[in-house]
Amino acid sequence: MAPPPPFGANSAAARDIANVLHPYTDLQSHQQVGPVVISRGKGVRVWDETGKEYIESVAGLWCAALGFDNERLVQAAAEQMRKLPFYHAFTAKAHEPMIDLAEMLIARAPVPMSKVFFANSGSEANDSAIKMVWYYNNALGRTQKKKIIGRLKGYHGITIGSASLTGLPANHRSFDVPLPGFLHTMTPHHYHDALPGESEEDFATRCADELEKLILAEGPETVAAMWAEPIMGAGGVILPPKGYFPKIQAVLKKYDVLLVADEVICGFWRTGNYWGSQTLDIVPDIITSAKALSSSYLPISAVMVNDTVFQALATESHTIGTFGHGFTYSGHPVPAAVAIETLKLYDELDIGTHVRDVGPHLQAELRRRFADHPLVGEVRGTGLIAAVELVQNKATHGNFPPAAKVGGRFTKLSEEHGVIARSVANDTICFSPPLIITKDEVDQMLTRMGKALDELTVQLRREQIAVVS
Q: Binding residues for ligand PLP, per CB under 6 A?
A: 61, 121-123, 126, 155-157, 229, 233-234, 262, 264-265, 290
Rounded least distance, CB 127 to ligand PLP, Å: 9
In degrees and rounded to multiples of 5, residue 70 shows phi and psi of: -80, 110
- Which residue in 383, 421, 114 sits closest to 268, CA to CA? 383
Rounded least distance, CB 319 to ligand PLP, Å: 31
State the SS3 of 43-87.
Answer: CCEEEECCCCEEEECCHHHHHCCCCCCCHHHHHHHHHHHHHCCCC
Cβ nearer to ligand PLP, comparing 139 with 424: 424
Rounded least distance, CB 284 to ligand PLP, Å: 13
Rounded least distance, CB 63 to ligand PLP, Å: 8
Cβ nearer to ligand PLP, comparing 126 with 187: 126
What is the torsion angle, in degrees rounded to the nearest 10, for the CA atoms of residue 137, residue 140, residue 145 and residue 151? Answer: -40
Query: 10 Å Cβ neighbour count for 62?
Result: 25
* CA–centroid distance for 270 within its chain: 11
Rounded least distance, CB 157 to ligand PLP, Å: 3
* Exposed / middle / buried, residue 356 (Cβ in 10 Å: 0-12, 13-18, 19+): middle
Cβ nearer to ligand PLP, comparing 300 with 456: 300
Rounded least distance, CB 266 to ligand PLP, Å: 8
Residue nearest to ligand PLP (CB): 122
Cβ nearer to ligand PLP, comparing 233 with 359: 233
Cβ nearer to ligand PLP, comparing 13 with 231: 231
Rounded least distance, CB 162 to ligand PLP, Å: 6
Region label for 198, one of left (φ > 0), alpha (ψ between -120 and 50) or beta (otherwise): beta
Rounded least distance, CB 299 to ligand PLP, Å: 7
Q: Supply the DSSP symbol for 35.
A: -
Cβ nearer to ligand PLP, comparing 237 with 343: 237
Cβ nearer to ligand PLP, comparing 61 with 106: 61
3 state SS of 285:
coil
3 state SS of 275:
coil
State the SS3 of 124-155.
Answer: HHHHHHHHHHHHHHHHCCCCCCCEEEEECCCC
In angstroms, what CA-CA distances link 224 with 125, 155, 159, 186, 287?
A: 17, 19, 20, 18, 15
Rounded least distance, CB 124 to ligand PLP, Å: 7
In degrees and rounded to multiples of 5, residue 376 shows phi and psi of: -100, 125
Q: Alpha-carbon distance 186 to 267, whole Å? A: 23
Cβ nearer to ligand PLP, comparing 58 with 224: 58
Half-sphere exposure of 173 (CA within 13 A, CB side): 4
Cβ nearer to ligand PLP, comparing 262 with 389: 262
